[in-house]
Amino acid sequence: MTAIKHALQRDIFTPNDERLLSIVNVCKAGKKKKNCFLCATVTTERPVQVNVVKVKKSDKGDFYKRQIAWALRDLAVVDAKDAIKENPEFDLHFEKIYKWVASSTAEKNAFISCIWKLNQRYLRKKIDFVNVSSQLLEESVPSGENQSVTGGDEEAVDEYQELNAREEQDIEIMMEGCEYAISNAEAFAEKLSRELQVLDGANIQSIMASEKQVNILMKLLDEALKEVDQIELKLSSYEEMLQSVKEQMDQISESNHLIHLSNTNNVKLLSEIEFLVNHMDLAKGHIKALQEGDLASSRGIEACTNAADALLQCMNVALRPGHDMLHAVKQQQQRFGDLREQFARRLASHLNNVFVQQGHDQSSTLAQHSIELTLPNHHPFHRDLLRYAKLMEWLKSTDYGKYEGLTKNYMDYLSRLYEREIKDFFEVAKIKMTGTTKESKKFATLPRKESAVKQETESLHGSSGKLTGSTSSLNKLSVQSSGSRRSQSSSLLDMGNMSASDLDVADRTKFDKIFEQVLSELEPLCLAEQDFISKFFKLQQHQNIPGTMAETEDLDGGMLPRQQNSSVLQSVSSEKDMIRQMMIKIFRCIEPELNNLIALGDKIDSFNSLYMLVKMSHHVWTAQNVDPASFLSTTLGNVLVTVKRNFDKCISNQIRQMEEVKISKKSKVGILPFVAEFEEFAGLAESIFKNAERRGDLDKAYIKLIRGVFVNVEKVANESQKTPRDVVMMENFHHIFATLSRLKISCLEAEKKEAKQKYTDHLQSYVIYSLGQPLEKLNHFFEGVEARVAQGIREEEVSYQLAFNKQELRKVIKEYPGKEVKKGLDNLYKKVDKHLCEEENLLQVVWHSMQDEFIRQYKHFEGLIARCYPGSGVTMEFTIQDILDYCSSIAQSH
C-alpha cells in the first residue's frame, strides 16, 4: 500500500501541487468488483483546498489516472454502517450517495479518521459522522501499519503550519541578537535553553505571587453568591403577589375576546343583510313600470327597459351559501318570478298587436306601389320595433317560450304581408315586360289569390303577340332561293327570334332594365329585413341559442320535444341558421316568383337569358361578398342555376337549329344563316358580358357554338348542289374569320386561326379546281413530257421522242393564240361570278388568285420548254404581260 501511495503521489498529485494524506482500496457495493482508490488530498498552495479523489487503473497500461474529484466541503455525511462490528462498507454523501466496500476494515477506519481530522482542521466540523466508533474520532488511531501511515500524515499536517506575524517578528529579533546562530547552532541552542530556564523560573515566581490575589477573588465570589440568594428570595415573593393579578388579567382577556367575537358576528350579519337589501330590493318605480308602464311611448319603453334590466339583475344575483334557505329571500324570489311572468305576458301581447297593426297599415299602401315597379319601404316599421330590441333581449333570456312565440307570430304576419307585396310587385314587372293594356295593368294591381295570379299570368303570356314567336316554338329554317341575304333575314324574322338584327333592341333594353330593377328592389328589401331580424331578435351569427325552455315549436308550426338546459332548437343548430330559416319563411315566395319571371323572359326572347345571367351573377357575387351563407345569397344562387340552365338551353337550341338548316337546290348558298346569327350573337354577347363575372360561361358557350358552326358549315357544303363545296367553305370561313378578328374574342383565338386556314385552303382548292387546265391540250402534252422524264429519259432527249418532238410542240402551241386564251378567261370569270355571293365580296380576291395560278402554270410550261427543247426557238403565242392585261380587262368589263 505504501508503494502505491508513493506512486500515486509522484504520478498524479505532485504535478497538481497536491499532497496525498490517506488512501483506501475500494470497490462499488453490489456490483461487479472493479477496484479503485479513494484518496484524501490537500493542496500545497494557500488557501488550502481539501479533496476526495477517485483514482482508477487505466485499461490500456499499468498506470493510474485521476477519474473524479469531490471537494471535502461538499461532503455532508460519512456513514460507517456499524460502529461496533467490523464492516468494510461505508457511504459518502456528496450531491448523491456513493456506496463503497473497502478491501479491509483497517483501511476504512484509517481513511475515515483522516477525513475526521481534516474536517476538524479545515471545515470547522461541518461533516456528520454516522455509525462511527468514538475511538476513531480522537486525535490518535489504533496501532499497526495504518497507524504509522495516518500518524505520519497527521504529523505532516501539524508541522505544516503557517507562522503568524508576531511569531515571525520574534524570530527575526532573536536571529538578529544571535548573529552566530547560523555558524554555531550548538551555541545558539544553548543560549535558547538558558533563556527558557530563566522564563520558567519567572513563571513559577509569578504564580506564587498571585496566590494572595486568588484568595481575595474567591472571597468576593462567595459574597456575590449570598447576594444572589437574597435576590432570588425577593423575586419569589414578587411572583406570589403577581399570581392573583395574572388570573384577573386572564379573565379580562377572555371577556375581551368574547366581545370582539360578538362584534365580528354583528358586522358579518350586517354585511349579509346589506348584500341582500342592495341586490334583491327592486325600486317601487321599477315595479310600477313593469306592472303598468306604457309600452307605446318612447318614455314608457325606456322606463320598462330599465325596470326589466333591474329585475333581471335581482333575479340573477349570485346568492351566498345559505341565503336560499331564508324565508324572506324565497318570498322575494317568488315576487320577482310573478313580476317577470306578468311583464313578459304583457310585452308579448303588446308586440303581437304591433305586428298585426303593421300588417293592416302596410296593406293600405300597396295600391300606390303596385302601379310603379317599386316595393313598399318597411324602414318606419323596423324603426318603431327596434325600440323594443332590448326588451326582446330580456324576454329571450328570461322567458324563451314567449320569445319564440313572438318569433313565430312575426314570421306568420310578415310572410303574408310580404307575399302580397312581392306578388303584386312581380305582376307589375310581368305586365311591363309583356306590354299589356292599361285595363290588364289595372286589374293586375288588385290583390288576388296565388292560383288566380298564376292563371292571369298564363293568360297574359298567351295574349302577347311577341311570345308566340319564342325560341321554344321555332320551326326548321329554310333557305329561300334568292341571291341576297335580305330574303333570308325576312324568313328568319317570320320563324323566330334568333336573329338579333331583326329583333326590337328597345324591347331587350327594356327587359334588361326591368329585370335589373326587380333585383335592385329585392336586394335591399331582404338585407334590411335580415338586419332587422338580427337586431330585433338579438340573433348574432356564430352564437348558440340559450336553452332555458321546457318545450318549443319549430318554425313550421309543429311541436318539437326539448330537454332541460338544451342549447339549440332541434331543427336549428345556431342563431345564424335561425336567421336563415326565418328569412326563408318570410320570403318564401321570392324564389318561385323569380323563377316565373325568368321563365317569362326566356319565353319572350331566349336571348334574354344572356341579360339575366349577367345581372343575376353580379347580384349573387355582391351578396356572397357580404355573407356567403345568407338567405339572399342562397336564394339568388338557386335562381342563378335556373338562369344558367336557360342560357345553356339557348345555346343548345342554336346548335340544334344549325343542324336542322336545309338549303335550296336551285339557288346559290352564300353566307349561311347560322354563320350570320353567330356573328350577331357574339356581338350582342360581347356587349352584354363586358366586365361581367360569369365570362367563363360565355367562353364555354362560344366554344360549343363555334364548333357547331364549323361542323355544320362543312355539312352544308357537302350537301350543296348548286354552289361548289369549296365556295361554301371559303365564303363562310372567311366571314367567321372576319367576325372573330373584329370582335377579338380571346378564347376563340385557336378557332380564328383555324377559320383562316380553312378559308385559305378552300380558296386555293377552288382556284385550282375552277381554273382547271385552261390550255388543255398543251397541258396534256407536257404531262406526257414529264412522264417520260419520270421514266428515266433525260430532259434534253425528250425532243427525240416521236410523239413529243418539236413539230408536235409547235402544233399544240398554235392551237392557243392570245384570243382563245382571253376568251377562256372571260368564261371563267363569269363562272366564278355566278358561284360567289355579293355579300362577302370575294370575287376580286378569287380572280386575283386565279390570275396568279395561271401565271404559275405559264411559267411551268416555259420552264419545261427551256429544259426539254433547248435552242429550238419555240415559245408561247402570248406572254405573262398578255395574261395580266387579259385579266385586268375582263375584271374592268364586268
Give the tens place of pLDDT for each residue, 790-823. Answer: 888 888 888 888 888 888 888 888 888 888 888 8
Three-class secondary structure of residue 139 per DSSP: coil
Alpha-carbon 848 to chain mean position: 65
Question: What does 832-869 look like in DSSP terms, one character per residue?
Answer: HHHHS-TTTT-HHHHHHHHHHHHHHHHHHHHHHHHHHS
- Alpha carbons 741 and 10: distance in angstroms, whole number: 106
Report residue 325 as a C-alpha cell.
334557505
Mean local confidence (pLDDT), 147-166: 51
Report residue 789 as a C-alpha cell.
422524264
pLDDT reported for residue 163: 67
* pLDDT tens string 621-647: 888 887 787 888 888 889 989 988 988
pLDDT reported for residue 155: 43
DSSP H or E stretch at residue 605: none
**Region at 708 (left for phi over 0; alpha for psi -120 to 50; beta for the rest):** alpha
| The pLDDT of residue 566 is above 50 | no
Q: Among 3-12, 106-115, 354-363, whose mean pLDDT is lowest?
A: 354-363
pLDDT reported for residue 607: 84
Phi and psi torsions of 723, nearest 5°: -105, 135
Mean local confidence (pLDDT), 476-499: 34
Residues above pLDDT 70, as percent of the chain: 82
DSSP H or E stretch at residue 1: none
Q: How far is CA 264 from CA 73, 230, 250, 251, 685, in A?
A: 56, 50, 21, 20, 91
Residue 38: pLDDT band with limits 50, 70, 90:
very high
**Maximum average pLDDT range among 336-345, 546-555, 762-771:** 336-345
Q: How many helices (H) and strands (E) does the chain have?
A: 30, 10
Label residue 709 exposed, middle or buried (CB < 10 Å: 0-12, 13-18, 19+).
Answer: buried
| The pLDDT of residue 439 is above 50 | no
Residue 484: pLDDT band with limits 50, 70, 90:
very low
| The pLDDT of residue 57 is above 60 | yes
pLDDT reported for residue 40: 94
pLDDT reported for residue 370: 53
Distant-in-sequence, close-in-space partners of 760: CB < 8 Å, separation ≥ 6 = none
- Alpha carbons 310 and 315: distance in angstroms, whole number: 9
| The pLDDT of residue 76 is above 80 | yes
**Region at 744 (left for phi over 0; alpha for psi -120 to 50; beta for the rest):** left
Is the alpha carbon torsion for 644, 646, 649, 653 positive or negative? negative
pLDDT reported for residue 281: 83
Nearest in space to 672 (alpha carbons), one of 718, 731, 620: 731
pLDDT reported for residue 182: 59
Residue 77: pLDDT band with limits 50, 70, 90:
very high
Mean local confidence (pLDDT), 344-353: 90
* pLDDT tens string 691-707: 777 788 888 888 999 89
Question: What does 708-738 look like in DSSP terms, one character per residue?
Answer: HHHHHHHHHHHH-SSS-HHHHHHHHHHHHHH
- Alpha carbons 725 and 670: distance in angstroms, whole number: 11
Distant-in-sequence, close-in-space partners of 144: CB < 8 Å, separation ≥ 6 = 106
Distant-in-sequence, close-in-space partners of 883: CB < 8 Å, separation ≥ 6 = 821, 851, 854, 855, 858
Q: Report whether 880 contacts 855 (CB < 8 A).
A: yes
User: Structural domain boundaries of the chain?
Assistant: 1-136, 363-436+502-540+573-660, 667-773, 788-893
Three-class secondary structure of residue 388 per DSSP: helix
* pLDDT tens string 773-791: 667 788 888 888 888 888 8
pLDDT reported for residue 585: 92
| The pLDDT of residue 659 is above 50 | yes
- Alpha carbons 728 and 675: distance in angstroms, whole number: 11
pLDDT reported for residue 349: 92
pLDDT reported for residue 753: 92
Report residue 617 as a C-alpha cell.
351573377
**What topology is assigned to 363-436+502-540+573-660 in CATH?**
Monooxygenase (1.20.1280)
* pLDDT tens string 508-563: 888 888 888 898 888 888 888 888 988 888 876 544 444 433 343 344 444 444 44
| The pLDDT of residue 475 is above 60 | no
Q: Among 5-19, 45-59, 198-212, 258-272, whose mean pLDDT is lowest?
A: 198-212
- Alpha carbons 560 and 76: distance in angstroms, whole number: 77
Residue 162: pLDDT band with limits 50, 70, 90:
low
| The pLDDT of residue 451 is above 50 | no
Mean local confidence (pLDDT), 258-262: 91
* pLDDT tens string 87-112: 889 999 999 999 999 989 989 999 99
Mean pLDDT of the chain: 78
Residue 482: pLDDT band with limits 50, 70, 90:
very low
pLDDT reported for residue 550: 36
- Alpha carbons 762 and 775: distance in angstroms, whole number: 23
Type of residue found at 528: A
pLDDT reported for residue 577: 83
Residue 614: pLDDT band with limits 50, 70, 90:
confident
**Strands of 533-572, DSSP E:** 551-553, 559-561
**Maximum average pLDDT range among 276-285, 322-331, 518-527, 776-785:** 518-527
Task: Classify domain 1-136 by CATH architecture.
Answer: Roll (2.30)
Mean local confidence (pLDDT), 668-673: 83
| The pLDDT of residue 838 is above 70 | yes
| The pLDDT of residue 59 is above 70 | yes
What is the CB-side half-sphere exposure of residue 824 using CA atoms within 13 A? 18
